[in-house]
Amino acid sequence: MLDLIKGRYRVRMAGTASDVAAAQRLRHLCFRGTADGLDRDGFDPLCLHVLVEERSGGRLVGCFRLLPINGGAEIQRSYAAQFYELSGLQDFDGPLLELGRFCIHPEVHDADVLRVAWGAMTAYVDREGVEMLFGCASFAGTDWGAHVDAFAMLKACHLGPSRWLPQVKAPDVFRFGQGLRRAPDAKKAMLGMPPLLRSYLMMGGWVSDHAVVDPDMNTLHVFTGVEIGRIPPARKRLLRAVAG
């Protein structure tokens, strides 16, 4: 089981149907903009659901879900496989873990929420021997022009290795190679990078060479992978310090 207490927060695995429903309500608030519904899909029954709660009062301030995958031969089971052609990863020889539906309550602006969430994921990854963490990192809205510097930075510095790189599958995508013709403004790029994606990149993560337009979620998202063995040692030490 996953259970981590750090500072003001506790991270734990959902244990009941009401826990999962609480996560789905928070997801609906974060992704749909209203608190009067549940964000749910066919992957929810397959996933482990993780809650980040305030220790005082138990308020749910963040959540995410995890889908363990035994090896690359099972990559088509993933949520991301709906949107990306992932045949390159079928040769990945080792356990993978898909991180999805990560969100933090819009009224909460404490960086420790993200920090303890990563600490909990680090503990899980270490315990289960995960060799790659992956998911879809989302930018708000479907206008790529609003994120041009961030996408230019991803194109210039963070594209995945050719052997693993996802190919185009979704009907509507923004290809970095076709739409970006200038160097990024580094300051604007990092300010515009979603916090979850910034965390991936600080761990040596890489992205697809295109963003998928997802009108249902009103986002543009990129496939993101982190090979655990390639995380910089200093970053591993920081993550494990939180996990411990």
Higher pLDDT, 180 or 41: 41
Spatial separation of the C-alpha atoms in residues 191 and 189, rounded to whole Å: 6
Q: Is residue 19 part of a domain?
A: no
Q: Is residue 195 part of a domain?
A: yes
Q: Report the chain's mean pLDDT, rounded to a whole number.
A: 96
Asked if residue 179 has pLDDT above 80, the reply is no
Q: Is residue 152 part of a domain?
A: yes
Closest residue by Cα to residue 95 from 66, 132, 134, 123: 132
Q: Is residue 39 part of a domain?
A: no
Q: Which domain holds residue 176?
A: 65-243
Q: What is the mean pLDDT of residues 160-179?
A: 94
Amino acid letter, 199: S
Kindly state the tokens that stand for 220. 């543009």
* CATH, residue 96: 3.40.630
Total tally of structural domains belonging to the chain: 1
Q: What is the pLDDT of residue 180?
A: 78
Q: Is residue 4 part of a domain?
A: no
Q: What is the pLDDT of residues 31-70, one digit of tens each?
A: 999 989 999 999 999 999 999 999 999 999 999 999 999 9
Q: Is residue 103 part of a domain?
A: yes
